[in-house]
Amino acid sequence: RYEQREDFAVVVQPFFRNTLLPLDSNGKPDLSFFAADCFHFSEKGYAEMAMALWNNMMEPVGEKQTYNNFTYGRSKLKCPSPEKPYLSTLRNSGFRISAPNSEKTEPSVPYWAVIVAAVAGVLVGSL
């Protein structure tokens, strides 16, 4: 839906797709990455996720890392380079390069259908 836009892009960042539970030196789950409820991340865990997300945004589409290795090292942060001083999108990664479609297209749902659905929803909700 946004592929033809020059000023907007949507890019899936798969850094958490194949992530495994972080382990400590004894092979047991490293609880330092989790809050007291053992479900939510701790500050350390959120920092690790933020670094993985940042790195994913720097990687070209098709070459994005789909896991996080929980090394908690700031040295693994990827930085923009003079050749690529931007976040990676489909277009600047070399995918789907085409001229934007300047033709006006009809919306898939007529505007009056949205109004009718909204009024019907209010009526049904008030019953």
Question: pLDDT for 88-108, tens place per residue?
Answer: 988 888 876 555 555 556 667
Residue 22 lies in a domain: yes
- The confidence band for 2, taking pLDDT boundaries of 50, 70 and 90, is confident
Residue 110 lies in a domain: no
Buried b / exposed e over 5-27, threshold 16 CB at 10 Å, is: eeeeeebebebeeebeebeeeee
Residue span of the structural domain in which 32 resides: 1-100
Residue 95 lies in a domain: yes
Counting the structural domains of the chain, the total is: 1
Question: pLDDT for 11-55, tens place per residue?
Answer: 999 998 998 888 889 999 999 999 999 889 999 999 999 999 999
The model's pTM is: 0.66
Q: How many residues does the chain have?
A: 127
Cβ distance 68 to 48 under 8 Å? yes
Total Cβ atoms within 10 A of residue 1: 6
Residue 121 lies in a domain: no
Residue 126 lies in a domain: no
